[in-house]
A and B are shown apart, each in its own frame.
Chain A
Amino acid sequence: MISSPIKQGIKYSFGTPAIGLGLSMFTFGAFLKSSGFTIWQSFSSTFFAFALPGQFVMADLLIAGGSILNIFFAVLLTNARLFPMTINLIPIIQNNNIPKWKFFFISHLIAVTAWINMFASYPNVKQNNRFEYFLGLGGSLWITSILFTVLGFICSDFINNKILLGLVFFNPLYFLIMTLSNILNRKLLSVFILSATLGPLLNYLSPSWGVLIAGFISGSLGFFYFRIKNDR
């Protein structure tokens, strides 16, 4: 029997979050087929290494002939954003009745779509129910991603490449609008503007570290500026 908070989380993920992630995973599945992956390898990629930007980096580097060590570090850098995101999300779903090891399992479901949607909806969920709620929300997004990767792999021969290419842009646009809709104060707005400016600039100077450095600098500047200003 599925408990009510889990159902609530599943229900929240259905609709735009699942469509956005699903379409991108669909394109990813089609991309893997054209890159020579088998259906099981495509399935395993989303099942075990669930985080789309890192999955794309892995496939791109494989095609480009990158070494295994090269792939490891490139994926680690690409997915390093999951580190602060996890630090941020765990205290929200923290519950003394839940053993610590379960948080190591549920962390596998933390990705941008689940994170943004959890932050948008958690104030309406009771603290004791949040772990199960996130299990429903993140779990259904993870399963949707796996299904759509496989579906994209199977359907890739029947869909025009240019339309497939269009579908992959749905997700960044969705991330952008979800992030904008979560900007509720001037502090976050300043982080948004700073990062949108610094991100491409630093990426141009250092493609590997640019995104992380831009995020760290803009997040810290925005936070400390308003902290000092409010203390006065």
Chain B
Amino acid sequence: MIDNQTIILAIIVSSIATYLCRSMGVIFSSRLKIDSWIFDWIKCISIGIIVAVISKIIIFPEGILENTSQISRFLATICLIITYYFLGKNILLSVSLGTAVFTILNYYNI
């Protein structure tokens, strides 16, 4: 078991690290205009990072998802994309079906 003091310290330092990223963003955004090319460039980078995070979670997950099978994550993702484009772009329905596929496959250790 981890001792209480270490947990509290970990929460404090992770809060500081997280807020540092956001507050630096506020400082750097002060002169940025919505219609400037830099704004558009940073949007492309933000989307690039978000996509890289998602693909990492699906292909090389860390933490609790590490114990799930690669095939279950792939099939759930394929199911998500197919149902999204073929069932009227319904986000809740496609994500729920994808999650259901993932849960069932892992439930039966596939």
List the interface of chain A (C-beta within 8 A of B): 15-16, 19-20, 27, 31, 35-38, 41, 44-45, 48-51, 53-63, 68, 71-73, 75-76, 79-92, 100, 103-104, 107-108, 110, 112, 115-116, 162-163, 165-170, 172-182, 187-188, 191-192, 194-196, 198-200, 202-204, 207, 210-212, 214-220, 222-224, 227
Residues in A with CB closer than 8 Å to B8 are 41
Q: Does A86 contact B25, Cβ atoms closer than 8 Å?
A: yes
Q: How far is the CA of A68 from the CA of B43 in the complex (A)?
A: 32
Instruction: Say yes or no for B71: interface residue by CB 8 A criterion.
Output: no
How far does the Cβ of B105 sit from chain A's closest Cβ, in whole Å? 9
Provide 27 A-B residue pairs closer than 8 Å at the C-beta atoms, listed in order of the A residue.
A36-B1, A41-B4, A45-B11, A55-B14, A60-B62, A62-B7, A76-B21, A81-B46, A87-B28, A87-B32, A88-B29, A91-B34, A100-B30, A107-B23, A162-B106, A165-B67, A165-B68, A169-B68, A169-B76, A175-B50, A177-B84, A195-B52, A203-B52, A211-B53, A214-B52, A215-B52, A220-B45
How far does the Cβ of B108 sit from chain A's closest Cβ, in whole Å? 9
Residues in B with CB closer than 8 Å to A82 are 18, 21-22, 25
Q: Does A84 contact B25, Cβ atoms closer than 8 Å?
A: yes
Q: How far is the CA of A211 from the CA of B10 in the complex (A)?
A: 23
* Closest partner residue, chain B, to A80 (CB atom): B21
Residues in A with CB closer than 8 Å to B37 are 227
Q: B29, B50, B55, B95: which contacts A87 (Cβ < 8 A)?
A: B29
Q: Does A81 contact B53, Cβ atoms closer than 8 Å?
A: yes
Q: How far is the CA of A180 from the CA of B51 in the complex (A)?
A: 9
Residues in B with CB closer than 8 Å to A169 are 65, 68, 73, 76, 98-99, 102-103
How far does the Cβ of A173 sit from chain B's closest Cβ, in whole Å? 5
Q: Does A175 contact B54, Cβ atoms closer than 8 Å?
A: yes
List the interface of chain B (C-beta within 8 A of A): 1-2, 4, 6-26, 28-30, 32-34, 37, 39-60, 62-65, 67-68, 73, 76-77, 80-81, 84, 89, 91-92, 94-96, 98-100, 102-104, 106-107
Q: Does A191 contact B18, Cβ atoms closer than 8 Å?
A: no
Q: Does B47 contact A198, Cβ atoms closer than 8 Å?
A: no
Residues in A with CB closer than 8 Å to B60 are 200, 203-204, 207
Q: Does A210 contact B56, Cβ atoms closer than 8 Å?
A: yes
Q: Does B52 contact A107, Cβ atoms closer than 8 Å?
A: no
Q: Does A84 contact B84, Cβ atoms closer than 8 Å?
A: no
Known: A162-B106, A211-B53, A218-B52. A58 touches B11 (CB 8 A): yes
Q: How far is the CA of A215 from the CA of B67 in the complex (A)?
A: 26
Residues in B with CB closer than 8 Å to A107 are 19, 22-23, 25-26
* Closest partner residue, chain A, to B83 (CB atom): A177
Q: B19, B51, B57, B107: which contacts A218 (Cβ < 8 A)?
A: B51
Q: How far is the CA of A180 from the CA of B20 in the complex (A)?
A: 29
